[in-house]
């Protein structure tokens, strides 16, 4: 990893921590099988392809959102969709990244 990668990773961790400090909801968009293998306590589980059906539910939470998945790809898709629909959301990447900040 190059020098800029280190800075961007640190910035990402700082942003996740800022969202957690502001009461963010962790939204895990992985499949049920992946969720069953392990997840962050207190996270909300909504599989990525069902997010549009849950948009109003997510908005009604009234909190910032940190989207997570296995590697960061699906959570980026969720982040893009939710952001375009007025949700204050960031991509937390792999769920373990956020989990370790809570523990």
Domain count, the chain: 1
Domain containing residue 50: CATH number = 3.40.250.10
What is the structure's pLDDT at 103? 63
- When mean pLDDT is compared across 5-14, 19-28, 59-68, the lowest value belongs to 5-14
User: Of the candidates 58, 66, 61, 103, which has an alpha carbon nearest to the alpha carbon of residue 85?
Assistant: 58
Which residue range(s) make up the domain with 34? 3-102
- Give the global pTM: 0.90
Return the pLDDT at 8.
62
pLDDT > 90: what percent of the chain? Answer: 84
Position 10 scores a pLDDT of 74
């Amino acid at each position: 990893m190059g020098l800029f990668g280190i800075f961007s990773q640190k910035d990402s961790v700082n942003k996740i921590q800022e969202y957690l400090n502001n009461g963010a909801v962790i939204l895990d968009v992985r499949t049920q099988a992946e969720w069953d293998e392990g997840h962050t306590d207190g996270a909300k589980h909504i599989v990525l392809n069902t997010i549009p059906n849950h948009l109003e539910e997510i908005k009604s939470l009234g909190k910032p959102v940190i989207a997570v998945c296995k590697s960061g790809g699906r959570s980026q898709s969720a982040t893009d969709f939710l952001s375009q629909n007025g949700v204050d959301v960031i991509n937390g990447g792999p769920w373990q990244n956020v989990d370790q900040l809570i523990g």
